[in-house]
Chains A and B, each alone.
Chain A
Amino acid sequence: MVIQMNNEYYHSVVLDKSKCKGCTTCLRNCPTQAIRVRNGKATIIKERCIDCGECIRVCPYHAKNAVTDKLDILKNYKYTVALPAPTTIAQFKKKISVNRILTALKDIGFDEVQEVAYGAEIVGEALKYELMEKDVKKPLISSACPAVVRMLQVRFPELIENLVHLESPMEVTARLVRKRLKEEKGLRDEEIGLVFITPCAAKATTIHSYIPWDNSHSSIDASISISEIYPEILDRIDKVQEEDLQHSTGRGLIWAHTGGESSFIAEKQIINVDGIHNVISVLEEIENGRLRELDFFEGLACIGGCVGGCLTVENTFIAKKRIMDRSLDRKAGDNDITDEMIKSAYESGFLDREGKIFPMPETPLDPNIKEAINKMETMDKIEKTLPGIDCGSCGAPGCRALAEDIVRGQASEVDCIFVLREAINELSKLMYDLSEKVVPVMKDKENEGNE
């Protein structure tokens, strides 16, 4: 079933409450401080979550996961197409041909397979035209990773205008396939089921709520995670009769790892970075105006890039090596992409992102600025009363975060075990003092005895 939601805060990352032990590991690793532990279970503050999947990766109990679709969605459509992310190929040894992997994938029950690496090659080649635009804001920032786009919306709204104006490889591939199926097979939109084979939660999220460009909608209908479909492919990989399905070349496949996108404009001034915390640190430098000479910034939320996606199976670095090996082999793969084709696709606007990406700043401490200023003061005062060791036992990611939760009315000072202990200490002192005090009517009697 396709979840049709245009809710701004739709997320793929979810928590399995029965598995969560409230251990606070995810709390510390969330780059946007979106997690709190309440009543012994982690909860996600939706407006802050960027679907980076960091919490899925670090949870020792595998309590965090991503909602993706299941294979039974295929029966909802007359004609289905699997669109595997380039990372899908990286899950398999190089000696297994791309065609064999794709055939096994198709055999699961798709009518067709079309690699996203094909669209990746088109978008990659089109980047140079984007950089040539007169009014381009530099550094141009890659929009390939939805978690990074979302990070910009929340924390760096002023950098949104630096984002590449082209659609992601996933969307471009889907647009091409959809157009062809309508023209050649006479299919109607609702008869077509385009299923993205996703390495991550962030991509799955954009499909369902299309968050980054939320006044628009995706050309993709559903997503199934690589980890879910992997065993199905494996079951078939030796059995299938190999078909000629490959449309990717090494150029497109290298989008699977960091630097792949940048390689299309290698002669430019580029920084590419992976790991969401590293991405944030470079975005801060860009925001500070320190990187004015930079042409392009490729930031990917996962270490290694999409090969490190939270819904993949193979070790990130092995997967990366496999992609590099495959892309070195120039003979492997061929397609119909030409310079003229890219140029005309670019100029016609076919590659343009539909709709606008809006800032999504987090809710201020108070809608009224005067109140917000007062709350900020209170927050500082509260923070000073806290021990400052960021232990996480209160369920917030640190002392300052707890102070913020308190002024937002979402937590209380005694959530801090140290404040609580102090309060109990004082209370017991008070109780002791009180127990020493004598009831007034008794006073004279006691004094009498002493005299």
Chain B
Amino acid sequence: MSSIYEMDYNVGSRDFAAAGDASRSIKRTLQQIGVDTSVVRRIAIASYEAEMNIAIHSKGGKMHLAVNSDKVVVATEDFGPGIENVDLAMTEGWSTATDEIREMGFGAGMGLPNMKKCSDEFSIESSVPEGTRIKMIFKL
């Protein structure tokens, strides 16, 4: 039997009360499965950044978690508006966040770069206006 655990999470646009729930739940799941604490930490940070990006920059979307004995995959998908220039978006410090968002402590432009840094494999595809997909792989 191939052991794989999968779970989907919805992430609402601008739903700041619920934003963070998906990554919190991902972290809890991985802790209960017994994934190494330092890997859990990396996944928690990357998932949180991904989740906040969907909540802040997109029209809402989904996160998908898949765990098997040698890797954890966190994938996201949103309903647009997509990212015009992905290379630019991946640059440290680059952000289109509004002043209000910055006021809330987001918008440092470090989310995507940190997601890449935390994961062992990172891929991003985006098209305007369809949306953005991200896949992060963490080796166990």
Q: Could you tell me which A residues sit within 8 Å of B by CB distance?
A: 155, 157-158, 284, 287-291, 359, 361-362, 364-367, 369-374, 376-377, 380, 404
Contacts and interface: CB of A to CB of B under 8 A. Distances in A.
A288 B20 contact: yes
Contacts, number: 69
Nearest to B68: A373
B29 interface: yes
A290 B105 contact: yes
A288 B44 contact: yes
B38 interface: yes
A373 B130 CA distance: 34
B17 interface: no
B41 to A, nearest CB: 4
Given A289-B45, A290-B105, A380-B7, A372 B37 contact: no
B23 A288 contact: yes
Nearest to B44: A287
Contacts of B98: none
A373 B32 contact: no
Contacts of B44: 287-288
Given A158-B40, A373-B68, 5 more contacts: A284-B20, A288-B23, A289-B114, A369-B34, A372-B32
A284 B40 CA distance: 13
Contacts of A366: 34
Nearest to B104: A290
A367 B32 CA distance: 10
A365 B32 contact: yes
B4 A373 contact: yes
B85 interface: no
30 contacts: A158-B38, A158-B40, A287-B45, A288-B45, A289-B48, A289-B114, A290-B105, A290-B106, A291-B105, A359-B37, A361-B31, A361-B37, A362-B31, A364-B31, A364-B32, A366-B34, A369-B33, A369-B140, A370-B3, A370-B69, A371-B3, A373-B5, A373-B33, A373-B67, A373-B68, A373-B69, A374-B5, A376-B5, A377-B5, A404-B32
Nearest to A290: B105
Contacts of A372: 32-34
Given A158-B38, A287-B41, A370-B3, A364 B48 contact: no
B80 to A, nearest CB: 25
B24 interface: yes
